[in-house]
Amino acid sequence: MALTGVLRPGYTQIRVTDMQAAVDFYTNILGLVETGRDDSGRVYFKAHDERDHHCVILRLADKPGNDFYAFKVLNQATLGELEEKLNAYGVATERRPAGELLETGERVRFTIPTGHVFELYWEQTEVGDGLGYLNPPILIDNRKGISPIRLDHWQLHGADLDGTFDLFTKVLGFTLTEKILGEDGKTVMAVWLTCSNKAHDIAFVRDTRSDTLHHAAFLIETWEKLLNAADLMAKHKVFIDIGPLRHGITRGTSIYFFDPSGNRMETFCGGYSFYPDMKPYTWTWDEVGSAIFYHTRELNERFLTVVT
């Protein structure tokens, strides 16, 4: 499909409580590439197959969580158009200057009904994947740790799921791919949304705890590499929440785990392709176990309750 508006998840700023431990984890275990540090002490990373400067920013703080989430848009004109649409819809926006984040152009910042802070941007320095653009080889050298290929999606929790769903679909151009209905058979408890032809680029869950993160997900190429990620986590005594497993929703395979500060991450593999002519899938409450953990059909209490 032609991507002309919001393109993909771009970056996120993660709060960590021990910067040295976090940098070691994100470099040597998760296997991201450090790309810079700014005057405020923030550390920037990208995944190996990504070409832009960063997808993760670490900020030292007294508690874990995420400060904001960003989507990249097609170009400068698109950024202006989406800002106008947000304002017309009643969403206040703030222009953040180029250079405030390393190697990043002007951004449009706004808060969505679930309380999360989002940014849109179009310009970030292209650092490449190390392969070049003329007759490139297919193997990237010196990959460390799990070494995902990109930041893939987020799952966010908040009270006003309906308002956020409307904003993302009516203003930002996202499409619903799957949803879970509550016990009454009517209330939407969770939605999976795409701005591309992925099974999802973001998910939202109805929760009284607004402005919270359930997980940030990084894409792994194959099931075998996902199993290798599990081996690495076990070797380095990473706190695994659950997995390896398969989801009913998206059909993706997954491991959920925590960084040293308590932020939940996911290594994600697979998932179907989605196109605008497709109808979304609906899951009923009596099958919610299969929707989340397809094989065991039982929900992990920690998975349901822990957010940052």
Cα Rg, the chain, nearest whole Å: 19
User: What is the Cα–Cα distance from 180 to 178, expressed in whole angstroms?
Assistant: 7
Q: 200 catalytic, yes or no?
A: yes
Asked if residue 34 lies in contact with residue 73, where contact means CB atoms within 8 angstroms, the answer is no
Joined tokens for residue 233:
């986590």
Write phi, then psi, for 288 (nearest 5 degrees).
-65, -30
Alpha helices in 214-256 (DSSP H): 223-235
Cβ within 8 Å of residue 166, ≥6 positions away: none
Q: 11 catalytic, yes or no?
A: no
Q: 153 catalytic, yes or no?
A: yes
Write phi, then psi, for 31 (nearest 5 degrees).
85, 35
Q: 116 catalytic, yes or no?
A: no
Annotated active-site residue in 119, 200, 214, 281: 200
User: What is the Cα–Cα distance from 160 to 112, expressed in whole angstroms?
Assistant: 9
Q: 69 catalytic, yes or no?
A: no
Return the closest-CA partner of residue 194 out of 139, 263, 272: 272
User: What is the Cα–Cα distance from 167 to 90, expressed in whole angstroms?
Assistant: 10
Annotated active-site residue in 44, 121, 256, 281: 256
Annotated active-site residue in 48, 214, 266, 281: 266
Annotated active-site residue in 11, 116, 215, 281: 215
Annotated active-site residue in 53, 121, 247, 281: 247
Q: 256 catalytic, yes or no?
A: yes
Annotated active-site residue in 53, 54, 116, 153: 153
Chain centroid, CA 154 distance in Å: 3
The residues carrying an active-site annotation are 153, 200, 215, 247, 256, 266
